[in-house]
C-alpha cells in the first residue's frame, strides 16, 4: 500500500531574497512575536494538497508538467498578521494576474483530484512567523522586494524531531 505525503505547490524564494528577508525580520520583530520560519522554508503557497498518495502525486505532477503559464514579477510590499492561525506574513498589494491564474489553475486541478481546497479567497503571502497568536507590532513598511517567478515547485512538508522542513520534490519552469 502506498504511503501518503503532505504536499503543496508553491513559489520558491531565491536564496538571496531568503537572506534579505530573514535579516530584515530579525531587525524588525521582537523575539516574542512568533516562531521565525527557517530561511529555506520561505515560500509562497499556490495550492495546498494535503495528504496525498504516491499515485495521486504522480497524477498531479503530470498535470503540473503540462502547465504553460507565463513568468511574472511581484513586489513584496505588504505585511500583515492573522492572529487566528498565528501567522505574520509578507504579501503584495497588487497580485499579478499570472500569479492568480496559476494558483487558480493548480487549485482547480487539486480539487478535481480530490484534494480539499479551502473556501477562503486566495491571499498570496510568504509566512514569516508562526505561533504569533498575540498582538504583534508590525514595522510600518517592507523594503518592497521584487520576486521574479520563473518556476513553481511541488513541496513535501516533513515533520521530524520537532522541526518542519519543506523538501522541494520537483520544479517546473514558467514560460518567458
Burial class (CB in 10 A: 0-12, 13-18, 19+), 138: middle
* Furthest C-alpha separation in the chain: 52
The three cell numbers of residue 60 are 498531479
Query: How far are the Cα atoms of 27, 74, 82, 96, 147 from residue 91, in angstroms, in the given order?
Result: 18, 9, 12, 12, 11
Known catalytic residue at 43: yes
Q: Cβ of residue 81: shortest distance to ligand 3AM, in angstroms?
A: 13
User: Can residue 118 be called a binding residue for ligand 3AM (CB under 6 A)?
Assistant: yes
Which residue, 72 or 166, has its beta carbon nearer to ligand 3AM? 166
User: Can residue 8 be called a binding residue for ligand 3AM (CB under 6 A)?
Assistant: yes
Considering only residues 48, 72, 145, 152, which one is a binding residue for ligand 3AM as defined by CB under 6 A?
A: 48
Known catalytic residue at 123: no
Q: Which residues are catalytic?
A: 43, 125
Q: Which residues bind ligand 3AM (CB under 6 A)?
A: 8, 45, 48, 87, 118, 125, 127, 157
Amino acid at each position: 500500500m502506498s504511503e501518503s505525503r503532505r504536499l503543496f505547490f508553491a513559489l520558491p524564494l531565491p536564496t538571496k531574497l531568503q537572506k534579505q528577508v530573514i535579516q530584515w525580520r530579525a531587525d524588525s520583530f521582537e523575539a516574542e512575536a512568533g516562531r521565525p520560519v527557517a530561511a529555506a522554508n520561505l515560500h509562497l503557497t499556490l495550492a495546498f494538497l494535503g495528504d496525498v498518495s504516491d499515485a495521486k502525486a504522480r497524477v498531479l505532477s503530470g498535470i503540473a508538467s503540462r502547465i504553460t503559464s507565463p513568468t511574472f514579477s511581484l513586489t513584496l510590499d505588504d505585511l500583515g498578521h492573522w492572529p487566528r492561525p498565528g501567522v505574520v506574513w509578507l504579501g503584495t498589494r497588487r497580485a499579478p494576474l499570472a500569479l492568480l491564474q496559476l494558483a487558480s489553475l493548480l487549485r482547480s486541478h487539486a480539487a478535481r483530484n480530490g484534494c480539499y481546497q479551502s473556501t477562503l479567497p486566495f491571499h498570496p503571502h510568504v509566512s514569516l512567523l508562526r505561533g504569533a497568536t498575540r498582538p504583534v507590532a508590525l514595522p510600518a513598511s517592507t523594503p518592497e522586494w521584487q520576486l521574479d517567478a520563473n518556476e513553481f515547485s511541488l513541496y513535501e512538508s516533513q515533520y521530524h524531531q520537532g522541526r518542519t522542513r519543506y523538501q522541494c520534490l520537483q520544479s517546473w519552469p514558467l514560460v518567458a
